[in-house]
Structure 1
């Protein structure tokens, strides 16, 4: 039996349906397909028809379907997300519109460009829901699959429809040891290498201390690869994960892959926009410079990036003239942390004292990314070129990104641990991301925060609400991007990675109507000539937004110091959470606390009047029938402030908080929020808030935590499309033994196999929405026994097998749930058939 994830639906005219004559058109408003208020639907569109290139006699056909229309009720704060996935090598065009029934189109610029499209509803009064038509169109090209998701405001992530495949360095691991690892030993900094030798057979030369009890390991020797040509990397990844699993089996050892991350920049076409720094008036920076004439003096900004442009990259110095005067003098310490094959400077593969960016000799490259970021944060005021946000701050260039703007987690952790111990570094800018949640990286982040460093990071350029790290860590200010009109940039992530926003640019827009694309202008370099020459460039990305915030913090700190005050990271978080240093520009899920405002920030720093703020993590809660309890951390900023609860708003009878929030008492460090779904009607959404009034004897405030409850829909309403159930051998090739096709019956898929030999098998099932002969591709529903992503064999004997249950879903489990990545998964092939399309049509319609 296969059950269906609640609120799942299938496009009523997929290519698979068309092949068996079961398609029900949903091509226009008159035939709009009804969706639940919050839910997920998988679909198919194509601007043409034809046959997939299978390389054999088997033919799978795709059909023309240029429009799907859905009718759904939307509320204030709901997120509508469209993701698309090509079914063939033929490019495809897509657009989406969202129109209120009886009203106008509301998606606007959020639906411009290329998917993913993410729109947050901000046009409906609170507590109301209104019917809307969502149309998805194929504007040309070949077939594609899509997933359309409607998520409530409080939902954490709606876009996890693909297995996460973070890049890693094969045969390397990052390890923490928090308990004795050898008989009679203890896990301190002196005997960890010895302990690791015991558990993994490593030699001392393959263990490197990254600081603070974190270690980098290299496997002594890789196993011989048993992989087909072209599959060597996939095999190496798998071997690496198996080795890391062995490390994690040792008591007290936490091992992770040495993940790769990248600069968060989108490189547009070259444009002569060097003089147009529109992004500074957008955040009231010119006025802030007047209020803070020290302009960041005596504040250290560590830019952890690709290093800096130098006219003599083999030696320290000769930096870009718009940066040079602010770069810290030669320290004699390691400032280039890039190692291994990513290191492309003269000391290839080794850490060194020179953070110069060696370039890579290509006109359109990811090199000089760090130069661009540094220019935004602290470009010199020298009457030529550009100027930075904090033009008198001290720059600490720390090279952690190498070839193609990539770096690995072990190098970043080592750099963070070094910067954490430097009293002359006040803010660390991380215009990089793409890492999964990492305990080792979090430990380095938390230590730097505890040592008084404000960490600022790019929120990511995926246009997604999936968390990206380091921006999504609690002790990091995650920065999203806006264009010249203060609108979220089309690429900018939303949700848990975004604490506030800053100018990042958007090459597809002219939001400030100055006749030019909204690009952020800063310092660059040209290494196609010898010697290299300084240049300027216009770029877009959350990489560009992050240094705006790092620079504003430098202005705040220097302004406060000039009047005998100070600003700490905790005080910055308090100001941010209270809205004191931002302008409200839209919904919290898109813009966090809002757009950074430099003059508000400087004024707050000079006044020394820092608010006391009670904040919650997570900042919003969503409950379902499966998730009825959540723990909420209550954090007071600044740390140690004496806060008491003044009021607690009435809560509905179905919501409880433990321990109870008592007026006159301090708030607990954490509470357990629980929902009694038995009091709530099925197939209904509920919205409320946890509202706590508080004060510290002077300041007072109100903490509001939005709460949404999505009751499951009736089982018989669910339909994830026709499923093909496969029985596979457990050999490495997972050869197909048998398959059947089944349709949902009252929301359940029931299946049986006949005449199967006793043995062990894998059991999987999924849709073939695009009719290309593969199930479980990204964008299709998939089920695996016993749990999607954690495939285990079943045993078949002579007796009938009964009681097997799976759940199918268009979503994919997060990396936190899986425990490790799943690389190279492209779906399961259906049984090869010869003959014509009619034979396929007959086959695919039967088999129950």
Structure 2
């Protein structure tokens, strides 16, 4: 998208800017004898800090790794560099340049820690190479980075609050970038530290028309494939194909061309929203013979639940949206421990009525959907393994294909099929298990899930195995129960995601533990298939993952539905927040949500019936600051059939102003931060207490901060670049001009120089043309900025670059950007952000190609 930086001359001395938002306004002048064609300033995100010995410091003559520990504040996001040796980068064209790197085996910090607080380390390899880092907190054993996004985390569960020595150490062979972060208090950040790179189907888009356009089924979308079938996914939503001529023009650049086509579709007046067809993935890596291995049923108090609900969820349909079910070649029957409970399903990958899992040539055959289905509802037959809801019906819906991946269009279509039933009948399933994820927030997916909830359906999804806090959908959807995984000791599993969006936890297994001392790893055992004599036969196997945790919850919900058929999401939500579904400590956590699933408590709560009412706050925790949100509207949702009476705000912290409107549902609280009543740089905490129905109370945790660390912020030495708007043949964005900026009072200033046409051309000289304006750090010295783990700023907003046009004889002054180590996410708050497939950052100009500039009015050689 182009930022129309233009002006109208009103007088010889006055100009007016058009097309810029308030957050990035500039003044454009036609000065006499001007020096800079473009200049501005870069603000720094709160709590940003930089390692004291990155390559920016180590490349200086005589420099060596820092010997003293670096003191950090109570909340921080720090970027750093470590390397086990010195050497030269191998320099593949897309990943880095042939630059030298220096030895820096470890970094040492002093970090204030209180009980319940967590330090998180995220590592990123340089030049696309694998790395291994270690996080060690004083008095505790080291923890290695692990998981898909290479994360290690330490939580102080007990002990003395105080300053702890924290060491980040390289234990690999190559240099690494990293981000070390901590937030004061127990709440953890949900920020992303890598560019969004969600996979999507080439040449396809999910298009939602506005109400007026959708009224006519004959409406066309310009730029959609003529003659190709438009697959309807919902009331106003279609899956569209890219025109053939555009595909032909794309050549080897299919991903960028698909994204460009989507941007064009978004400009059409009859279109409400357009998103890629994102790809998702599976979230994995009593008298039954295998019961001795199924420790996880004891963890959730399963045996007691089965006494309360001896039918095991009979009559309840549980849809398993997954890879399908195993069926032996040449057989008409499903896995023998599932067959009796299976009802007719559907395959949305092949678009037929046979949801058989054909296996996978990628990564081996784990028969993921079969394993998940077995945990939910494998039968009791004294031959294998029983499921949580052993009497429930399994409705297999295949939405994942080769390699355990699938498309968001298939997922949306499958849920719509379940929700709409047939010929006006009720939904095909009462419970929907989704042991899959990795999607961004997609409006069309949110809409179809909400439609199911309106019809009484319950949705459960795996939180994901990235060991991070970034939201993974559909688990993070408002109407879905997000399930994290615990090991046999009821601790968060090392691989499990966590965050403010987690609702509850369930056993997911841990290959590194043997808590029941049976000589085998504590995996989740369930139905599967193994290769015997050249063909796959039905069998059982142990797996670990949040994919294995989610079906425990789905099975328990099925038993609850059998006890109370009218149980809906509002009821479940109310019971969850009252602590009636879990081992609840009295306060939710980002690791376990409202606690570890307790099947006996949950089924008992359903059997006793529930009228409520219960109030639930959205958002559940209010966080206000002078640099973030200073005012928040909180909705109080009513769960249960009984009405809310006598609602009032009893108390709240003195540093808040709270006004309530309880005249209709949802009840509303308007919360405003009072800055002058806060202590600078100290996180204030308290509760807003709402009383109702005489004896009931709702406590809403609230955090207030007056952040004054602006002058202490430092994101490292910044390179400010004007880059071409199109990448080269290797997909790399190249700098056309660059200047350096160092922090001063918590911000950076920059200015470019006009190209005077004379040689030598300096790095800072900019010629008229179209550019992206970007800035960032190169802390590992590989010749690229804005890689994961490095600070990055893009004009006007990171993730939403706009073209800046430099014209001869004009000067653009006062542009503003914000830099930081986090990256934009695709969400309801930023729906226009699109993925950046294989984005490697912006390549710096090699100083051997140009002459550095003093940024003065005189052309000088350095």
Indicate whether the TM-score tops 0.5. yes
> Deviation digits for residues 53-89 of structure 1, max 9, x if unmatched?
2369974222222221222323455442211001145
Give me the TM-score of the superposition, normalised by structure 2.
0.85
The yes-or-no answer on 1:499 pairing with 2:503 is yes
Range 425-434 or range 148-157, more displaced: 148-157
Residue 517 (1) aligns with residue 515 (2): no
Contact 1:693 1:701 in 2 (8 A): yes
1:376–1:388: 8 Å Cα contact kept in structure 2? yes
Which residue of 752, 756, 768 corresponds with 1:758?
Answer: 768
Residues in 2 aligned to 1:710 and 1:749: alpha-carbon distance in whole angstroms = 24
1:327 aligns with 2:342: yes
Pair 625,381 (structure 1): closer, same or farther in 2 beyond 3 Å: same
Q: 1:59 to 1:324 in 2, by over 3 A?
A: closer
Specify the alignment match of 2:198 in structure 1.
166
1:414 and 2:413 correspond = yes
Distance 1:630 1:285, change over 3 A: same
- Aligned residue runs from structure 1 range 238-637, under 5 A: 238-249=256-267, 250-266=269-285, 276-312=293-329, 317-328=332-343, 331=344, 335-338=346-349, 350-360=350-360, 364-365=363-364, 367-422=366-421, 423=426, 425-526=429-530, 532-560=536-564, 566-584=566-584, 588-609=589-610, 611-626=612-627, 627-637=629-639
State the shift of 1:645 in Å. 4.7
From 679, 682, 685, the equivalent of 1:684 is 682
Does structure 1 retain, via aligned residues, the 8 Å contact 2:203–2:247? no
Distance in 2 (CA, whole Å) between partners of 1:611 and 1:679 is: 37
Do structure 1's residue 50 and structure 2's residue 87 form an aligned pair?
yes
2-structure distance, mates of 1:58, 1:533: 51
**8 A Cα contact 1:152 1:708, kept in partner:** no
Matching residue of 1:824: 838
Q: Which residue of 2 aligns with 1:780?
A: 790
Q: 1:810 to 1:730 in 2, by over 3 A?
A: same
Conserved in 1, the CA contact under 8 Å of 2:125 and 2:175? yes
For 2:171 and 2:310, the matched residues in 1 are separated by 53
Take 1:303 and 1:354, find their aligned partners in 2: how far apart are those partners? 14
| 1:41 matches 2:83 | no
What whole-Å deviation, never above 9, does each CA across 1:136-188 have from its counterpart, x for those lacking one? 1112321000001112457673441111111111111112223222xxxxx24
- Secondary structure (helix, strand or coil) at the match of 1:449 reads helix
**Distance in structure 2 (CA, Å) of the matches to 1:110 and 1:593:** 28
Rounded to whole Å, the distance in 2 between the matches of 1:518 and 1:43 is 36
- 1:802 deviates by 2.5
Residue in structure 1 matched with residue 48 of structure 2 by the alignment? 8
- For residues 822 and 291 of structure 1, the distance between their equivalents in structure 2, rounded to whole angstroms, comes to 51
Report the CA distance between 1:725 and its aligned residue.
2.0
Could you say what secondary structure the match of 2:167 adopts? Answer: strand
Matched, 1:118 2:162: no
Residue of structure 2 equivalent to 1:812? 823
Distance in 2 separating the partners of 1:359 and 1:505:
23
Q: What do residues 530-567 of structure 1 show as CA deviations (whole Å, max 9, x unaligned)? A: 65311211111111001101111112222446xxxx53
Q: How far apart are 1:660 and its partner, in Å?
A: 5.4
- Distance in 1 (alpha carbons) for counterparts of 2:476 and 2:147: 26
| 1:702 equivalenced with 2:697 (yes/no) | yes
- By how many angstroms is 1:687 displaced? 1.7
Q: Residue 345 of structure 1 corresponds to which residue in structure 2?
A: none
CA deviation map 1:488-536 (0-9, x unaligned): 0011111134100000112123345544322101111236766531121
Q: Residues 358-404 of structure 1, C-alpha deviation per residue, up to 9 Å, x if partnerless?
A: 11357x53551000000000011010111110111111111111111
Contact 1:327 1:394 in 2 (8 A): yes
Counterparts of 1:735 and 1:91 in 2: how far apart (Å)? 25
| 1:683 CA drift (Å) | 2.6
CA deviation vs aligned residue, 1:758-781 (integer Å, no higher than 9, x gap): 344332221111111111111001
* CA distance 1:609–1:815, shift in 2 (3 Å): closer
Over 3 Å counting, the alpha-carbon distance change for 1:795 and 1:361 in structure 2 is: closer
Deviates more, 1:482-491 or 1:794-803: 794-803
Structure 1 residues 483 and 556, CA gap change in structure 2 (3 angstroms): same
Are 2:347 and 2:399, in contact at CA under 8 Å, matched by a contact in 1?
A: yes
The aligned residue for residue 176 of structure 2 is 144
TM-score normalised by L of structure 1: 0.86
How many residues align? The count is 783
- Aligned partner of 1:184 in structure 2 is none
How far apart in 1 are the matches of 2:129 and 2:414? 43
For 1:71, the equivalent position in structure 2 comes to: 110
Measure the CA separation in 1 of the matches of 2:536 and 2:98. 55
8 Å contact 1:643–1:666 — kept in the other structure? no
Output the CA distance in 1 between the equivalents of 2:707 and 2:538. Answer: 59
Asked whether the 8 Å contact 1:153–1:708 carries over to 2, the reply is no
C-alpha separation in 2, matches of 1:475 and 1:325: 31
| 8 Å Cα contact 1:154-1:620 kept in structure 2 | no
Report the counterpart of residue 795 of structure 1 in structure 2. 806
Q: CA deviation digits over 1:617-656, x for unaligned, max 9?
A: 2211222223212232221112x53113555343233312
Check 1:108–1:732 CA distance in 2 against 1; reply closer, same or farther (3 A cut).
closer
1-structure distance, mates of 2:211, 2:378:
46
SS of corresponding position for 2:222? helix
Give the corresponding residue for 1:214: 237
Which whole-Å CA distance do the structure 2 matches of 1:140 and 1:409 have between them? 37
Q: 1:658 to 1:75 in 2, by over 3 A?
A: farther
Q: 1:772 to 1:24 in 2, by over 3 A?
A: same
Q: 1:674 to 1:22 in 2, by over 3 A?
A: farther
The equivalent residue for 2:763 is: none
- Aligned partner of 2:133 in structure 1 is 94
* Pair 1:499–1:645, CA change in 2 (3 A): farther
Say if 1:617 and 1:222 are closer, same or farther in 2 by CA, change over 3 A. Answer: farther
Q: What secondary structure, in the 3-state scheme, does the structure 2 residue paired with 1:206 have?
A: coil
Cα 1:788–1:112 shift into 2, 3 Å: closer
SS of corresponding position for 1:160: coil
Measure, in 2, the Cα distance between the counterparts of 1:119 and 1:587: 19
Aligned-partner Cα distance in 2 for 1:635–1:384: 46
| Aligned counterpart, 2:764 | none
Compared with structure 1, are the counterparts of its residues 773 and 294 closer, same or farther at alpha carbon in structure 2 (3 Å cutoff)? same
Contact 2:84–2:171 (CA under 8 A) maintained in structure 1: yes
2:69 is the alignment partner of 1:32: yes
Equivalents in 1 of 2:202, 2:131: separation in Å? Answer: 34
Q: Distance in 1 between matches of 2:500 and 2:419?
A: 25
Match 1:722 to one of 717, 722, 729: 717
Tell me the alpha carbon deviations over residues 261-298 of structure 1, each in whole angstroms, 9 at most, x when there is no partner: 010012xxxxx989511100111101211222111111
Give the conservation status (yes or no) of the 8 Å contact 1:311–1:319.
yes
C-alpha RMSD over aligned residues? 3.0
Partner SS for 1:750: strand
- Residues in 1 aligned to 2:785 and 2:368: alpha-carbon distance in whole angstroms: 40
Q: Which secondary structure does the structure 1 equivalent of 2:542 belong to?
A: strand
Alpha-carbon separation, structure 2, partners of 1:572 and 1:244: 38
**Whole-Å Cα distance in 2 between the matches of residues 178 and 366 of structure 1?**
43
For 1:674 and 1:22, the matched residues in 2 are separated by 52
